[in-house]
């Protein structure tokens, strides 16, 4: 019998299921909110790559009142408004109108279908982060915040520098719920100018 743990036996996966969340990633977002008290906790939020919906459920629970999720896959029982779309095809003005005004927060847990080749996966994921940053710049209110997953690699520093050009504070985190073998980390950008 193999000693390798499967997803269903993972501590965070079991904990998420017990709490009624669809995915363990909710604990990553929860930790980011705990570690960055300046993050907005109410108002409007856009959740890019929202499937299966755990981040969205958490955001509503902590006080956000208006939620718009976007993904290529329809989540089951989604708790807010949802658009089935490729982020590259979205018009920022449409998102702002759909949300009823500019967002206070934009979060992105987007990731490409991975190939197993670290460099390929890194570059593909960085392109998604760049799209998320463009949407954040066009849909966030002044003072708004941005959170994004990033696969670490050669382009990661340029992503941080891009954010520093538009936000007062940019922080890098690797939440405890991140799997040990994963190259992911999260960037939190506060106070859009």
Alpha carbon 189 to its chain centroid, in Å, reads 12
CB 27 within 8 A of CB 16: yes
From the list 70, 98, 99, the residue with the least C-alpha distance to 85 is 70
- Catalytic positions, written as ranges: 149
Residue 116 has which token pair?
Answer: 């197993």
CA angle 31, 168, 171 (to 5 degrees): 30
Q: Whole-angstrom Cα distance, residue 161 to residue 41?
A: 25
The residues near 153 (Cβ < 8 Å, ≥ 6 apart) are 118, 119, 122, 123, 126, 183
């Amino acid at each position: 019998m193999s000693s390798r743990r499967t997803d269903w036996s993972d501590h965070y996966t079991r904990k998420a299921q017990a709490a009624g969340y669809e995915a363990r990633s909710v604990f990553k977002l929860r930790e980011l909110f705990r570690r960055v008290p300046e993050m907005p906790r109410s108002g409007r939020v856009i959740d890019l790559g929202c499937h299966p919906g755990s981040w969205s459920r958490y955001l509503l629970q902590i006080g956000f009142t208006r939620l718009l999720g976007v993904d290529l896959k329809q989540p089951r029982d989604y708790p807010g408004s949802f658009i089935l779309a490729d982020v590259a095809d979205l018009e920022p003005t449409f998102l702002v109108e759909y949300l009823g005004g500019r967002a206070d927060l934009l979060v992105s847990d987007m990731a490409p279908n991975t190939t197993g080749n670290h460099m390929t996966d890194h570059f593909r994921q960085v392109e998604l982060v760049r799209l998320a940053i463009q949407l954040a710049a066009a849909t966030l209110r002044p003072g708004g915040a941005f959170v994004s997953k990033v696969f670490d690699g050669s382009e990661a520093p340029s992503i941080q520098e891009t954010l520093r050009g538009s936000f007062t504070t940019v922080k890098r985190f690797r939440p405890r719920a991140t799997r040990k073998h994963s190259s992911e980390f999260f960037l939190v950008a506060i106070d859009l100018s």
